[in-house]
Amino acid sequence: MTDTQKTPLVALKDMSISFGGIKAVDHVSIDLHAGEVVGLLGHNGAGKSTLIKCLSGAYQADHGEIYVEGKKVKIENPRDARAQNIETIYQTLALADNLNASANLFLGRELTNRFGMVDEGKMEAETRKIMARLNPNFRKFHEPVSALSGGQRQSVAIARAVYFNAKVLIMDEPTAALGPQETEMVSELIQELKAQGIGIFLIEHDIHNVMKLCDRAAVMKNGQMVGVVDVADVTDDDILSMIILGKNPKKAA
Amino acid sequence: MTDTNTTNPATQTNLSPVAKFLRATELDTRLLGMFGALALIWLGFHYYGVIFNDFGAFLTARNLWNLSVQTSSIGIMATGMVLVIITRNIDLSVGALVGVTGMTMGILQVDILPQYLGLGNPFIWIITVIFGITVGATIGAFHGWLIAYRGIPAFIVTLGGLLVWRGSAFLANGGKTISPVDSTFQLLGGGPYGAVGETGSWIVGIIACLGILWLTVAGRRNRVQHDFKLRPMWAEVFVSGAAMAMVIGAVLLVNSYPWPIGIVKQYTAANGITTDPATLVISHGFAIPVLILAGVGIMMTILMTKTRFGRYVFAIGGNPEAAALAGINVKWMTMRIFALMGALAGLAGVVASARLNSATNALGVLDELYVIAAAVIGGTSLAGGVGTIYGAILGALVMQSLQTGMVLIGFDTSVQQIVVGSVLVLAVYLDNLYRNRAK
C-alpha cells in the first residue's frame, strides 16, 4: 500500500533517549508517509510514548535525526513541532481544565484582532464551526473543559489538531477513555483525515483497532524496535507474538 | 465564566426570579457577594459608632475618601498577586519590596538628584518613579529567575526575599527615615493637593461613564456579529446603569469632602486670593493614588482578559503541563509574572512613601499578608487557575475597610489582628463552600 520510493512525510532516524541510565528509546528508526496510518505497539514502558514525544517536542532526543519531507529539522520544543505542522493528541489530553473549549483549541495560537487583543468572539465562532463538523452534539462552549465528558474532551483535543491543518498527527491512545460510540466516531475521523493525506502515528493497545485502522504496525519492546510490518500481510496473532516475544516473525522465517 | 447560550430552555422556565435575573444580567454572584459583604462591614462599623460612641464616623465623606487612599497601595499590589497565585505561586516579598523601593527612591530624590538638577526640579519625581518601578521589576525578575530557571520554590525564594530586602532597606540609609520627599512626588500619595478637584473628578467620572457605555455597545455588537445570544435589553440597561450610578455616586462623594480650613488658608495666602477662607469651599475630588489604582486595575484587566499573556497565565494555572505542550514557555512566563509583581510593588512603594511624605524602614511591613488576603478574598484560588483583577481590588477594599473601621471604633491593634486573621480564614472557607456548590 505504501509507496516506499517516495520521500516520507516524516522520518525518525536512529533516535535514542535515556532517563537516568535507562534507555527508554534505543536507536529506533521509523518513517511515515502521507495518507498513511502507522500503529505503534508494545507493552507499557516499551518506549512508544517517549519516542513520539521526541517528535512532538515534549522531549529532546539524546541522539538521532528527524526529517520532515526529506529536510532535516530540529525539534526542541512543542512550538518547533507545531511549526512543522506536527500536531499531537496526548493520552492525558493536555487540556487546561479551567479554560473553555475555544480557549483550549487555540491555546498558544490565539486569534487576535487588529489591536493585538485576543479575539474571543471569533475564536468561539471558529470553534463552533469545527465542532459542528467533528461532534455536532457539542453544546458546552462556555463551560470550562473540566465540566465535559471524556468524549467531549477528546473531541476538543482532536479539533485542536485538525483545525491547524496538521500534516502529521500523533495520537496517543485516542480511544482509551471513550465509550463504544465515541470510539467509532474517532475511528471514522481517523479514516477521514487519512483520506485527506494526513500521516498519522497511532499509539494503540487494542489489536482490533490496529488491524482496522493502520496500514503498518511498528512494534517496540524495551526501547528497541522489534519490527515494522504491513498490516495486510500479517494476522493479529503475528503482531501479538511480536509484542509478547519481541521477535519479528518475518526475520525468524 | 457565565453561560447563557448552552442552557436547555426546558430548565429555564422553572427558575426562581433571582436566578433568572442573574442569568439575564450575567452578573457574577461572587461579585454581588463582595458588594454585600462590603455593605455589611460599612453599615456595621457606622452603626456600631452611632450606638456606642454617639457618632457614626464610618459613612462620612472624609472617612470614605481616606479609605480610598489607604486602599490604593495594597490594591495596586493585589492586582499583581492575582497573577502570581493563579500560576500556583506565592510572593511573600512584596512588603519588603515596598520598603526597599521606597527607601532607595527616598535617597535618590532627596540626597542625589537635587545635587544635579536643583531642588524642586520637575524631572525629579519622574526619574524617581521610573527608578522605583525599575528596581521593583528587577528584583521581581530575579526572584522569578530563581523560581523558574533554578527550580527553587516560590515560597522559599520570596520568604528569603522578605528578609533580604527588608534588611537592605535598613542598610541603605543606616536605618534613618528620609523626610520630606520631593514636593511633586508627594502628590502621588494623595492629600488635599494630591487630588484632582471637583472639575477634574467630573471629567474622570464622565470618561468612565462613556467607557461603560462603549463597553456595553461594543459587547452587544460583537455578539450580533458572531450570532451569539444577546442579553435582554432591560438587563443591558440595568447593568450599565448600575455601573454608571456607582461612578457618579463616587464623584459626588469625593466632591462633598472639602479641604480643611487650614489648607484653604494656606492656599489662598500662597495664591493671593482675597476671598475669606472661611467662606471658600474647595472639594478634594478623586485622590491621585486612587486614579493610579483605577488605571492599574484597567490595564491589568485588559492584560488578563484580552491578551495572550493573560490567557497563558490562566492556562499555566489550570494545567502547567498542558500549557507547556501547547508551546507556552512556562519558565519565561513565570519570570515575567514575578517581574510584573515587582514593578507593581515598586509603584505601591511610590504611593506609600508619597502618602507618608517620607521613606521609613517600616514602610510596607506586613503588606504581603494584606495583599495575599485581598487577592484570596477577591476570589483568587490558591489551587491556581482562577481569579479576577476587580475581585482583588474589592478584596483590598474589604481588608482596608475592616482595618479602618476597627481603628475608628477604637479596637486595639491586637484585636484588629485577630479579626483580620479570622476573616481571612472564614473568607476562604466560604469560598470553598461556594465552589463546591457551583460544581
pLDDT digits (tens, 9 = 90+) for B275-329: 888 888 899 999 999 999 999 999 999 999 999 999 999 999 999 989 998 889 9
**Complete domains list, chain A, with CATH:** 7-37+61-77+168-174+199-253 (3.40.50.300), 96-166 (no CATH)
Q: Grid coordinates in use for B31?
A: 461579585
> CB-CB: which of B310, B318, B327 is closest to A98?
B318
Contact B319 A112 (CB under 8 A): no
What is the per-residue pLDDT for A250?
A: 60
What is the per-residue pLDDT for B392?
A: 96
Residues 63-102 (B) with a CB less than 8 A from some CB of A = none
Question: Is pLDDT of B341 > 90?
Answer: yes
Contact B6 A95 (CB under 8 A): no
What is the per-residue pLDDT for B5?
A: 43
Residue A115 C-alpha from the chain's centroid = 35
Q: A96 to chain B: which residues are within 8 Å by CB?
A: 314-315, 318-319, 322-323, 385
Residues B113, B117, B121, B123: what is their CA dihedral angle, to the nearest 10 degrees? Answer: -70
Q: How far apart are CA B385 and CA B85, in angstroms?
A: 8
What is the per-residue pLDDT for B2?
A: 40
**Percentage with pLDDT > 70 across chain B:** 96
Q: Grid coordinates in use for A21?
A: 541510565
User: Mean pLDDT for chain B?
Assistant: 90
What is the per-residue pLDDT for B137?
A: 98
Q: How far apart are CA B326 and CA B319, in angstroms?
A: 11
Shortest distance, CA A82 to any CA of chain B (angstroms):
8
Quick check: A100 contacting B, CB < 8 Å?
Answer: yes
> CB-CB: which of A82, A88, A98 is closest to B314?
A98
- At residue B26 the predicted structure's pLDDT band, cuts being 50, 70 and 90, is confident
Q: Are strands A37-41 and A199-203 parallel, antiparallel or unpaired?
A: parallel
Least confident range from B125-129, B140-144, B375-379, B432-436: namely B432-436
Quick check: B229 contacting A, CB < 8 Å?
Answer: no
Highest-pLDDT range among A144-148, A230-234, B88-92: B88-92
pLDDT in tens, B147-173: 999 999 999 999 999 999 999 999 999
Closest-approach residue (CA) in chain B for A160: B326
Contact A201, A167 (CB under 8 A): no
Closest-approach residue (CA) in chain A for B310: A118
- What is the mean predicted confidence (pLDDT) over B186-211? 94
- What is the mean predicted confidence (pLDDT) over A242-247? 82
Q: Are strands A86-89 and A168-172 parallel, antiparallel or unpaired?
A: parallel
Quick check: A126 contacting B, CB < 8 Å?
Answer: no
pLDDT in tens, A5-23: 578 899 999 999 998 888 8
- What is the mean predicted confidence (pLDDT) over A91-103? 85
- What is the mean predicted confidence (pLDDT) over A148-156? 83
- What is the mean predicted confidence (pLDDT) over B117-122? 87
- At residue A186 the predicted structure's pLDDT band, cuts being 50, 70 and 90, is confident
Top residue of A88, A93, A142 to mutate, by most chain B CBs within 10 Å, is A142
**Percentage with pLDDT > 90 across chain B:** 68
| Listed residue (B70, B125, B88, B309) closest to B301, CA to CA | B309
What is the per-residue pLDDT for B4?
A: 42
What is the per-residue pLDDT for B165?
A: 97
**Complete domains list, chain B, with CATH:** 28-195+287-438 (1.10.3470)
Bigger pLDDT: B62 vs B435: B62
- At residue B23 the predicted structure's pLDDT band, cuts being 50, 70 and 90, is confident
Q: A110 to chain B: which residues are within 8 Å by CB?
A: 308, 311
CA angle A87, A91, A95 (to 5 degrees): 70
Q: How far apart are CA A87 and CA B204, in angstroms?
A: 49
pLDDT in tens, B205-262: 999 999 999 999 998 988 888 777 888 889 999 999 999 999 999 999 999 999 988 8
* This prediction's pTM: 0.88
